[in-house]
Structure 1
Amino acid sequence: MTRFAPLPQPITASGEPRRVGVEIELGGLDEAHVARLCAETLGGQAVQDDSHIWTVQDSSLGKLEVYLDIFLRKANKTKLRDLALDLGREVVPVEIVTEPLDIEGLAQLDHLNTVLRKAGALGTGAGWVFGFGVHLNVQIASDSDADILRPLLAYALIEDWLRASSPIDESRRILPFTYPYPTDFVRALIGLGPDGTAQKAMDLYLQHTPSRNRGLDMLPIFAHFWPDRIAEAISDKTSARPTFHFRLPDCLIDDPAWSLAQEWQRWVTVERVAADDALLARLCREWQDDHGMVTLTRGSWAARCGDILRAAGLDMAGLPG
């Protein structure tokens, strides 16, 4: 799959195309090599800002950041810090971070992935300690309650199917970065319903899952609208921005059959569910019926959810049924 499908709501309330920032984690190449390949493929100039931090200026995708993805890169520069970074290279990914892109930009980025693969880039399945992912920061359509709450509810309802139909690598399952939503949170969201308020959804999120380590991290959106509330409740620093931070997808950059478009399609499926009133209502009812008062297993719902989505014509959304 190479075509990037449009979102059901491709335009923001202000009339501009919705954009998506992308973060790609990979191994096999150092950050200098990655930065130079970015510049060769997309134009611009690769500039070394620090021993392990590069930027690509004036590329066809704007500014790209390329760095070793570890907290030490932000520490004061010392020989000890640089040694620690070098020693961590075998397990710490190099990360490419883009500016917000349109659909055409996503296609260019997918071509860059092909270039990186041919140069020896490795994805999450290349080693048991690799837990590399792709993060999509999808701009919200508007600041209305519906455009924040409904995609969150849709994702919560179909998350088990997303995970079952395209399982994430074992190396990422044992890491804490993409845990599934607790079923008590899903149950509470269903109780709130698609016509609830985004602020109430935030309250439920902070009550049941006050963490960034979820397949869909909502804290950036909540911090954008209610910064004081999030700062009070969350000790970790949260980058406030009006985007859905979709953390679930693996990076399989070394697999020729893999495409960034496949991971994009997973999010498009979430928004297609969110835009369908009847489907969203049916999923809410059947989730409650499947789980009962106490959730004993999530596997049965994943299969049942897949049947419902197939019946709604969403089985061709780029994921196996």
Structure 2
Amino acid sequence: MTTPKALRMPPLTQTAEGRERRVGVEIEFSGLTIAETADLVRGVLFGEEGGELFHPGRYEIALRGDPAGDWAVELDFAFLKSMGRRERVEDDFGGAVEGFAEDLLRMIAERIVPVEVVSPPLPMSRLGECNALIERLRAAGARGTADDPTYAFGMQLNPEVPATDVDTLRQYLQAFLCLEDWLRERVAMDLTRRLTFFADPFPKGYVRTTVAPGYLPARAGLIDDYLHANPTRNRALDLLPLFAHLDPERVRARVKDERIKPRPTFHYRLPNSEIDRPDWDLGVPWDDWLVVERLAADPVRLERLCATYNAYLNDPLGRLTGDWKQECQQWLSENSLL
């Protein structure tokens, strides 16, 4: 494998324990089967002889042998995956009907449901390897969300938090809330993904409260405020996995969703998958996320932008005649955060 191009790094590259921060990457696409994709992932990571393919079910393949953990290649359809984990028995009427239903569901799903590659938590210094994989997948015929009006394919990033103290968590959340409108403009989210409410904006009432001067809750208060306003995974920055890792009972008491996987990461769900575009790779959404990282790591500038955004949100005339996305772009440029 050729040496991958290094990606730019955030100001905080280590955890509070002094370990290199990690990032999980998820990318969705069509145009390739699960088996074809797994073979390509294996070739990029290990060459043709390395790694081991394991089949948890008929619609998912795990690739073992990476010190960071297992890679997953799967059809992104939880119900069909659950069927695929059961042994097929078609020697009676009930089994035959279930087998027919599974085959019909599979044929429908393969037209509209993406294949998804899910990396293990990779050290940040290894993120460039994802670009080598994207290049190989594109060359093999992978297609992104713009290829068909029915597609709603995304790329999701799961950056590990540098620390779990309340100030760090609040600063990242505030940074994202200040930048969300600007990020949405940058991403130009696919229409189908917007219509399916894949990553809804944070409610402006919650944003106004959270970026207000003097918002300094304890960690339990930060989590409670979030859960009260956002009891859903469908946010551009989904903090439920992080909060479920930090305080599982508090999250379970408010949100009943088995899809929430506790982990010490931010779950950035906004970017489209544009894998078929020759000029697109992980660096495009990653560079946008780095603006959040830089702002969160600079409390003085963050406090200034929060105050500016809070004033904008509390000025009805300014909201009617102004454009926060443009103001934010200008502010970021003037403060050397781009």
Same fold (TM over 0.5): yes
TM-fit CA distance, 1:168: 1.2
Instruction: Provide the rounded CA distance (Å) in 2 between the counterparts of 1:95 and 1:306.
Output: 33
**In the TM superposition, what are the counterparts of 1:74-223 in structure 2 within 5 Å?**
74-75=82-83, 77=86, 78=88, 79=99, 80-191=101-212, 193=214, 195-223=216-244
Confirm or deny: 8 A CA contact 1:42 1:61 kept in the other structure.
no
The Cα offsets for residues 27-50 of structure 1, whole Å up to 9 and x where unpaired, read as 111111100111111111333332
Identity of aligned residues (%): 34
Structure number with greater Rg is: 2
Distance of aligned partners of 1:269 and 1:298 in 2 relative to their CA distance in 1, 3 Å threshold: farther
**In the TM superposition, what are the counterparts of 1:163-312 in structure 2 within 5 Å?**
163-191=184-212, 193=214, 195-237=216-258, 238-292=260-314, 300-312=323-335
Q: Structure 1 unaligned segments of length 5 or more: list them.
A: 316-321
Structure 2 SS opposite 1:20 = strand
Match of 2:28 in 1: 25
Distance of aligned partners of 1:307 and 1:289 in 2 relative to their CA distance in 1, 3 Å threshold: same
> Match of 2:55, as an amino acid?
Q
Match of 2:71 in 1: 64
> Match of 2:292, as an amino acid?
V
Instruction: Provide the rounded CA distance (Å) in 2 between the counterparts of 1:61 and 1:41.
Output: 15
Instruction: Provide the rounded CA distance (Å) in 1 between the counterparts of 2:204 and 2:286.
Output: 25
Distance of aligned partners of 1:193 and 1:262 in 2 relative to their CA distance in 1, 3 Å threshold: farther
Moved more, 150-159 or 84-93: 84-93
Structure 1 SS opposite 2:118 = strand
Structure 1 SS opposite 2:225 = helix
Moved more, 208-217 or 191-200: 191-200
Distance of aligned partners of 1:51 and 1:25 in 2 relative to their CA distance in 1, 3 Å threshold: same
Confirm or deny: 8 A CA contact 2:171 2:299 kept in the other structure.
no
Structure 2 SS opposite 1:6 = coil
Confirm or deny: 8 A CA contact 2:23 2:123 kept in the other structure.
yes
Structure 1 SS opposite 2:205 = helix
Distance of aligned partners of 1:204 and 1:119 in 2 relative to their CA distance in 1, 3 Å threshold: same
Confirm or deny: 8 A CA contact 2:208 2:313 kept in the other structure.
no
The normalised TM-score by structure 2 is 0.88
Structure 1 SS opposite 2:163 = coil
Structure 1 SS opposite 2:290 = helix
Structure 1 residue corresponding to 2:43, chosen from 40, 45, 52: 40
Confirm or deny: 8 A CA contact 1:188 1:204 kept in the other structure.
no
TM-fit CA distance, 1:302: 1.1
Instruction: Provide the rounded CA distance (Å) in 1 between the counterparts of 2:322 and 2:144.
Output: 27
Instruction: Provide the rounded CA distance (Å) in 2 between the counterparts of 1:147 and 1:281.
Output: 13
> Match of 2:254, as an amino acid?
A
Match of 1:15 in 2: 18
Instruction: Provide the rounded CA distance (Å) in 1 between the counterparts of 2:226 and 2:337.
Output: 27
Instruction: Provide the rounded CA distance (Å) in 1 between the counterparts of 2:213 and 2:270.
Output: 24
Match status 1:53 vs 2:60: yes
TM-fit CA distance, 1:205: 1.1
TM-fit CA distance, 1:21: 0.9
Distance of aligned partners of 1:297 and 1:271 in 2 relative to their CA distance in 1, 3 Å threshold: farther
Distance of aligned partners of 1:297 and 1:135 in 2 relative to their CA distance in 1, 3 Å threshold: farther
Match of 1:318 in 2: none
Say how many residue pairs are matched.
315
> Match of 2:209, as an amino acid?
A
Moved more, 97-106 or 52-61: 52-61
The Cα offsets for residues 174-209 of structure 1, whole Å up to 9 and x where unpaired, read as 111211111111111113756433322211111212
Confirm or deny: 8 A CA contact 1:249 1:263 kept in the other structure.
yes
Confirm or deny: 8 A CA contact 1:146 1:194 kept in the other structure.
no
Instruction: Provide the rounded CA distance (Å) in 2 between the counterparts of 1:192 and 1:212.
Output: 27
TM-fit CA distance, 1:60: 7.2
Structure 2 SS opposite 1:65 = strand
Match of 2:7 in 1: 4
Q: Structure 2 unaligned segments of length 5 or more: list them.
A: 89-98
The normalised TM-score by structure 1 is 0.92
Confirm or deny: 8 A CA contact 2:156 2:270 kept in the other structure.
yes
